[in-house]
Amino acid sequence: MKIERVSPFEKEENLFATDFLKSKLVAFKEIINDPSSGFFHLPKNEELLQSSIELHKKFAHITEFVHVGIGGSSLGPEMLISALSKNKTNFTFINNIDPERISDQLEKVNIENALFYFVSKSGGTAELTAGMSIIINWLEEKGLSQDQWSKKFVFCTDPEKSILLDLGKQLDIPTLSIPSNIGGRFSVLTPVGMFPALFAGIDIKQLMQGASKACQYCLDENVENNPLLNTASYLYDLKNFEINQTVFMPYSSKLRDFCFWFVQLWAESLGKKNDLQGEEIFTGLTPIPGYGATDQHSQMQLFMEGPLDKCLLLLEVENFNTDYKLNSSIDFPSFKKLNNHSLVELMKAELYGTIMALKEMGRPFIHFKIDQNDAASMGELIIFFESLTALMGNYLNINPFDQPGVELGKVYAYQKLEKN
């Protein structure tokens, strides 16, 4: 991955000084070597990868993959499938509790060839439980006995303590593991993402190779060139200038769902009330999803001329594996302008236009380039952005791996159910 960081602000030199970057590399190593956070070591976890490969063999005939989960238990696989799916397996993501949507989704599922994959780290999330009840009732209405529907189920959960684990044992349902030290939003490289990826024909070994490559350069001892440390310093520097919104904008439709994965990772990890000493700081970097060129006709006006509080992360795919010529027999000026060009050239010209305009408007941005939208690049992006999130937690002096703020709403929701 190539990275160019452009900032119109005078940077705080200390944040980029060799000694400071070295201290942040030490801090990053402490984070990833802490037994409570395991995401960085997943590319080396052959055994975990193999568990998905083995179980996939048993269900290889499946053509309908129904994934049930919410938040980190769904966003990773969703973005992998939309970016990289290579075969005709039909994927359905039941990732919300909207009855109309679920009804539409189930209507399209061909039960005979279907596998239902229930993913929940904790195992007891209300949305997951509701989805499972609905699916079991629906299958029973269609005439399937418990013995029949349970053969179409696979679970994925914490291997030590989880209701889903217990239920899997009771019903003899194959259960894949999400290691206890991996939180939902950092779990895409576990069976949460790898098992569905296999049904989509994604080369998960290549994905892990890309991830390993990112692991190497995130630990580059040559700190002046280390992209992880410099990007974190850059974003932290901008935060001191009140640039506290992060727009993630790939120039690719296939990477659009990657934005939503990033949004959860960034928001849930960095938005915190308390710092590590327990002081109230109400911090965070607000993520905004976008995608080019479409958002040039939507949000870009705000990004260019609105409040000076955003940094754009632009992601360019250098090589698309297909293209269209834009030559046309229609003799109108708008068509003539495109003659002798291709669709990829138009996409690149639009990205170039955005970059030039951002520079002229004094708006900070980072320009990331991946060679192509493939499994290796995806693995690289995943580890890079997970690492960046974890390290930003250190810069902001907060815990990026918890989410105490989401608990309060859950308490009230259950109270409401009890009252009714």
How many angstroms separate the first and last alpha carbons of the chain? 53
Query: Least distance from C-beta 74 to ligand PA5, angstroms?
Result: 8
CA-wise closest residue to 89 among 191, 194, 199: 199
The answer to whether residues 178 and 19 touch, using CB atoms and an 8 Å cutoff, is no
**Tokens read off for 30:** 């402490």
Separation between Cα atoms, residue 314 and residue 246, nearest integer Å: 10
Query: Least distance from C-beta 160 to ligand PA5, angstroms?
Result: 13
169 catalytic? Reply is no
Contact call for residue 73 and ligand PA5 (CB under 6 A): yes
Exactly one of 43, 71, 193, 271 binds ligand PA5 (CB under 6 A); that residue is: 71
Q: Within its chain, how far is the Cα of 258 from the centroid?
A: 5
The answer to whether residues 268 and 274 touch, using CB atoms and an 8 Å cutoff, is no
Q: What is the dihedral of CA 177, 183, 187, 192, to 10 degrees?
A: 40
Stretch touching ligand PA5 by CB under 6 A, among 50-58, 67-75, 242-250, 277-285: 67-75
Residue placing its CB nearer to ligand PA5 in the complex, 117 or 303: 117
User: Binding to ligand PA5 (CB under 6 A): which residues in 256-275?
Assistant: 268
- In which residue are the tokens 């309060």 written? 408
By CB neighbour count within 10 A (0-12 exposed, 13-18 middle, 19+ buried), where does 392 fall? buried
Interface mask toward ligand PA5 for 121-150; x: CB under 6 A: xx--x--x----------------------
Strands 365-372 and 2-6: antiparallel
Query: Least distance from C-beta 178 to ligand PA5, angstroms?
Result: 8
Query: Least distance from C-beta 401 to ligand PA5, angstroms?
Result: 9
Q: At what angle do helices 204-218 and 191-199 cross, to 10 degrees?
A: 140
User: Binding to ligand PA5 (CB under 6 A): which residues in 176-195?
Assistant: 183-185
Residue placing its CB nearer to ligand PA5 in the complex, 27 or 163: 163
Exactly one of 37, 52, 95, 120 binds ligand PA5 (CB under 6 A); that residue is: 120
Considering CB under 6 A, how many residues would be counted as binding ligand PA5? 14
Q: Within its chain, how far is the Cα of 228 from the centroid?
A: 17
367 catalytic? Reply is no
Phi, psi of 367 (to 5 degrees): -105, 105
Radius of gyration of the chain (CA): 23
Contact call for residue 70 and ligand PA5 (CB under 6 A): yes
How many Å is the maximal CA-CA distance in the chain? 70
Contact call for residue 393 and ligand PA5 (CB under 6 A): no
Q: Is the peptide bond before 293 cis (omega within 30 degrees of 0)?
A: yes
By CB neighbour count within 10 A (0-12 exposed, 13-18 middle, 19+ buried), where does 221 fall? exposed
Separation between Cα atoms, residue 377 and residue 153, nearest integer Å: 31
Query: Least distance from C-beta 185 to ligand PA5, angstroms?
Result: 3
Separation between Cα atoms, residue 183 and residue 141, nearest integer Å: 35
Stretch touching ligand PA5 by CB under 6 A, among 64-72, 272-280, 302-310, 343-351: 64-72
Residue placing its CB nearer to ligand PA5 in the complex, 15 or 173: 173
CA-wise closest residue to 158 among 167, 150, 149: 167
Query: Least distance from C-beta 325 to ligand PA5, angstroms?
Result: 44
CA-wise closest residue to 365 among 12, 8, 2, 5: 5
Q: Within its chain, how far is the Cα of 240 from the centroid?
A: 26
Cβ-proximal residue to ligand PA5, closest one: 184
Q: What sections of 240-287 are H helices per DSSP? A: 256-270
Stretch touching ligand PA5 by CB under 6 A, among 71-79, 129-137, 288-296, 373-381: 71-79
Residue placing its CB nearer to ligand PA5 in the complex, 21 or 66: 66
Residue placing its CB nearer to ligand PA5 in the complex, 40 or 251: 40
Task: Indicate which residue of 268, 316, 380, 386 is catalytic.
Answer: 268
User: Binding to ligand PA5 (CB under 6 A): which residues in 355-374?
Assistant: none
410 catalytic? Reply is yes
Stretch touching ligand PA5 by CB under 6 A, among 2-10, 65-73, 219-227, 390-398: 65-73
Residue placing its CB nearer to ligand PA5 in the complex, 175 or 403: 403
Contact call for residue 72 and ligand PA5 (CB under 6 A): yes
Task: Indicate which residue of 61, 108, 297, 419 is catalytic.
Answer: 297
Residue placing its CB nearer to ligand PA5 in the complex, 21 or 392: 392
User: Binding to ligand PA5 (CB under 6 A): which residues in 26-55?
Assistant: none
Which residue numbers are catalytic? 268, 297, 410
Report the interface residues with ligand PA5, using CB under 6 A.
Answer: 70-73, 120-122, 125, 128, 183-185, 268, 403
